[in-house]
Structure 1
Amino acid sequence: MIFNFTATPEFDFMTYFARHIGATINDGLLFIPAGLGNGYIRKLSFGPEFKITLHHYVLKEDLVIKRNTSGQGNELITIFFYSNEQTLGIAFDNNPNVQFSERDESAIQVTSNDLNSTIRFPAGHTIRYAVIAIMPYYLKTLLALNKLNSTIETITSPGHTFLYFENMTAETKLLLKNLSAVDMNDELSQFYMQIKVQELLYLLFQKLSKRESLPHQNINSADAARLLHIRNEVISDLSAPPVLPELAQIAAMSETKLKQLFKQAFGDTVYNYFQRARMEEAAFLLKQGKRSVAEVGYELGFTNLSHFSRLFEKHYGFTPKRYSSKA
């Protein structure tokens, strides 16, 4: 099933999606028709400038959502929280098979509404995600920061095209899970949800506020697609460090542009991002308990296990051996 829409501030996803699948909406709640799967979509509006849509369902066929740019510039910020047991395909051109989620299958995407994107939700798996739509000026007022770093300044100011990614913390995952369990029949539920959605924003912007201030470079949909492809290349083989000239050639960018856009989007250098993914993979393998510390180290390309141990301890605060015993 394919659902196309154009991202204008006036567009209401749930209304048009309900028409597309032949469903009805009651009190901001849409139940997925039995013929398509089961579950629901819930929308909560906290005013014309600020709303959240919660998705929780299992579908009988793949769902492809294609967002087309309105061509009107950045009039709306979209913040996409995805936490799930199944990987999600997301792209910014015509290849929706790029993996968005990392090993823990969760991520946060912050984007202006002037980028095309394609998201593929796989059939037969529980899909949980939330989308906050908020006007830039309203977010700036809500954050009430006296001094903005370049990332937050870009997000909250008109006229910028941007794409940022953040890893999702355990606290954010728990908060998202709790949001879907709120009893909306409670008279104060709307008030409670608004507080909790603002807490979600707090957790995200607390991380974004710690990013290094760098001059912002506007990107287009093609740049965004290339960045996701490069990110995939970086983590496709965690036993071999990335080679920047090769990545720049794949991306059809200069090395300087690739370094700048990658750090802008992902908040770290290509190599540091690789190293972090490497340590996260090591932690995942150690938790499984099927490999020894040495086997994990060698599998991830470390010939010096002492070096592996030092890097792991720097990242997690435990040596691999102690981490393995605690897992």
Structure 2
Amino acid sequence: MLFSFTATPDFDFMTYFARHIQATVQHGLLVIPDSLGQGYIRKVTFGQDFKITIHRYVLKEDFVLKRTASGQGNDLITLFFYSNEQALEIAYNDDPQVLFSQRDESAIQVTSNDLSSTIRFPAHQQIHYVVVAITPARLTELLAVSEPNSVLQTITGSGNSFLFFERMEAQTKLLLKNLAAVDMTDRLSQFYMQIKVQELLYLVFHKLSLRENTAHQTINSADVERLLHIRNEVIRDLSVPPVIRDLAQVAAMSETKLKQLFKQTFGATIYNYYQQARMEEAAFLLKQGKHAVGEVGYELGFSNLSHFSRVFEKHYGLNPKRYSYS
């Protein structure tokens, strides 16, 4: 199933999607027809400038969501929270889609409204994601930051093009789960939802406020597509460190531009991003209890196990052996 839409400032996803699948929206709830699958989409609004949409369903066929920028301005900030168990395919231009790995460090996206995107949701799998849309003015009012860093200035400014990825911590996952479970028949549910959505925004923007205060580089859909491809190249084989020169050639960017845009978008240098992913993979393998410390270290490209232990302890506060028993 393909659903294409143009992201105009006044576009309402629920209304148009309901027409597309010949369903009705009642009290902000769209129930997926049995012919298509099962589940629902729920929208809760906190005014014309602030709303949340919760997607939870299983569909009988692949669902392709194609969003095209309207060219009418981008005075809207959109936050996507992907809590799917499986990987998704996502693209930001018309090139073939790349696999969007559902690693926790990239499960939250904060984007301006002027980037086109295509997301493919696989059939017969649980789809769980949340979208929060808010205007810069409303967000500025909520954040009430007297001296915002360059990231917050870019997001709350007018007419800026941006895309930032952030980690999804356990606290955020739990909050998303609780939001989906709210009983909307309760008289104070709207009040409760607004408090919890603001808490969700706090968790994201608190982390973004800690990023390095550097000048923002303008980004477009083609840049984002290249960055996603480079990100996947970086984590494709965690036993091999990334080579900036080679990655720059793949991205068709200068090394300087690639390093700047990658750090701006993902919040870490290419090498630090790689190292973090490598340590997370090591932690996962150690917790499984099926691999010895030496096996994990060698599998991830460490020829010196003492070096592996030092790097791992720097990330997790415990050496690999102690971590595996914790």
Q: With structure 2 as the length reference, what TM-score do the two structures score?
A: 0.98
Task: Give 1:86's aligned amino acid.
Answer: Q
Q: Matched residues in 1 for 2:186 and 2:269: separation?
A: 46
Do the aligned residues in 1 keep the contact of 2:106 with 2:166 (CA within 8 Å)?
A: no
Q: Matched residues in 1 for 2:177 and 2:325: separation?
A: 29
- Map Cα deviations across residues 197-249 of structure 1 (whole Å, 9 max, x no partner): 00000000010000001100111110010010000010001000000010000
Do the aligned residues in 2 keep the contact of 1:282 with 1:297 (CA within 8 Å)?
A: yes
Q: Matched residues in 2 for 1:72 and 1:259: separation?
A: 31
Do the aligned residues in 1 keep the contact of 2:31 with 2:41 (CA within 8 Å)?
A: yes
- Map Cα deviations across residues 132-180 of structure 1 (whole Å, 9 max, x no partner): 0000111011100000000010000012100100010100000000001
Match of 1:314 in 2: 314
- Where structure 2 has 5 or more consecutive residues not aligned to the other structure, the ranges are none
Deviation at 1:105, TM superposition (A): 8.7
Match of 1:119 in 2: 119
Match of 1:291 in 2: 291
Do the aligned residues in 2 keep the contact of 1:112 with 1:160 (CA within 8 Å)?
A: yes
Deviation at 1:100, TM superposition (A): 2.6
Match of 2:183 in 1: 183
Task: Give 2:224's aligned amino acid.
Answer: A
Match of 1:139 in 2: 139
Match of 1:221 in 2: 221
Do the aligned residues in 2 keep the contact of 1:149 with 1:209 (CA within 8 Å)?
A: yes
1:224-239 matches, cutoff 5 A: 224-239=224-239
Match of 1:167 in 2: 167
Q: Matched residues in 1 for 2:87 and 2:124: separation?
A: 12
Aligned-CA RMSD value? 1.1
Deviation at 1:99, TM superposition (A): 2.8
Equivalent residue of 2:107, what SS?
strand
Do the aligned residues in 2 keep the contact of 1:54 with 1:131 (CA within 8 Å)?
A: yes
Q: Matched residues in 1 for 2:254 and 2:105: separation?
A: 31
Equivalent residue of 1:99, what SS?
strand
1:16-35 matches, cutoff 5 A: 16-35=16-35
- Map Cα deviations across residues 90-147 of structure 1 (whole Å, 9 max, x no partner): 1102346423334459610000010110111111111111000000111011100000
Structure 1 stretch 99-108 or stretch 19-28: which is displaced more?
Answer: 99-108
Task: Give 1:196's aligned amino acid.
Answer: K
Task: Give 1:108's aligned amino acid.
Answer: I
1:93-112 matches, cutoff 5 A: 93-95=93-95, 97-104=97-104, 107-112=107-112
Match of 1:48 in 2: 48
Deviation at 1:290, TM superposition (A): 1.4
Task: Give 2:112's aligned amino acid.
Answer: S
1:61-100 matches, cutoff 5 A: 61-95=61-95, 97-100=97-100
Deviation at 1:325, TM superposition (A): 1.1
Match of 1:196 in 2: 196
Deviation at 1:268, TM superposition (A): 0.7
Task: Give 1:174's aligned amino acid.
Answer: L
Structure 1 stretch 82-91 or stretch 92-101: which is displaced more?
Answer: 92-101
Do the aligned residues in 2 keep the contact of 1:85 with 1:105 (CA within 8 Å)?
A: no
Do the aligned residues in 1 keep the contact of 2:111 with 2:163 (CA within 8 Å)?
A: yes
1:312/1:211 Cα in 2 relative to 1: closer, same or farther (>3 Å)?
same
Task: Give 2:77's aligned amino acid.
Answer: I
Identity of aligned residues (%): 72
